[in-house]
Amino acid sequence: MAEIVKHSNHLRLDIRSAYLKLVTASLSIILSIFLLQQTLYISTLVIGLMVVWIMLVLNNIEILKFGLQGEKEAFDLLSKLPKQYKILSDVHIVDGTKSSQIDFVIIGPNGLFIMESKHIKGIINGKEDDTYLQKVKIGRGGDKYFKRMYNPIKQIRGHKIGMDVFLKKKGFRYRAFPILYFSNECVVNVRSKKVKIITEPVLVIDYIKRHKEENVYLSQKVQMKIADELKALG
């Protein structure tokens, strides 16, 4: 089993924040009901706005929980790598005004990998350089629902730049290998020459273990140095 160097997840904090908003909205509704007789119009307006807000917050909580479930499954999957690999999750790199929130960093003898995990249902269509991809969901009745999503290929390419700059500044001569993992049996009709796109769990482990790059070898000492530098970021 892989060595877990850092295990955290910003989605948990996002969910707690959403629940706090939910509590705030509920208290506002309760207060408005008490004041209803004295300020009928204002209280009615406040209650209406708070109900809408609660609906939006509840929907956001469901989305965050779904994403959290996906990242947990991805973490459990990466943990199955051999013990010579080191795993860090939720790595935040800041360089001036630019920042990268990387889901997973995997450090092994054959290189440093960064992985973005997307827990999505439906069919993903588009091209590598598109700003947005199209997500298609099919309802129970066969109806199709279309929604745009920011292209995660662009997202992880940005993360790679951030990681490569970080490694260079710390004196390491290595570069990151980007992986985009779509879980939840989604169909991805997108191809990329710059990012490895994977949709099958077993292929994630297989790709990392089998990946070979000329003149790339990270000793245990170098792996620990990189892991410590990344862990120190918080």
Contact 125, 42 (CB under 8 A): no
The four Cα atoms 41, 47, 49, 54 give a dihedral, to 10 degrees, of 180
**Residue 140: predicted pLDDT:** 73
Please report, as a single letter, which amino acid is at residue 49.
Answer: L
Q: What is the pLDDT of residue 1?
A: 76
- Looking at residue 73, the DSSP 8-state letter turns out to be H
Amino acid at 203: L
CA distance 7 to 5: 7
Q: For residue 220, which amino acid is it?
A: Q
Domain parsing of the chain, residue ranges: 3-231
Q: CA–CA distance from 16 to each of 10, 108, 139 (Å)? A: 10, 34, 30
Is 88 in contact with 231 (CB distance < 8 Å)? yes
Taking the chain (234 residues) in consecutive chunks of 10 residues, what is each chunk's mean pLDDT? 70 70 68 60 65 73 67 86 92 84 94 92 91 85 82 94 94 94 85 93 93 90 94 84
Instruction: Say what the pLDDT of residue 63 is.
Output: 64
Per-residue confidence (pLDDT) for residue 143, from 0 to 100: 76
Dihedral angle at the C-alpha atoms of 132, 184, 213, 151, nearest 10 degrees?
Answer: 10
Residue 180 is predicted with a pLDDT of 95
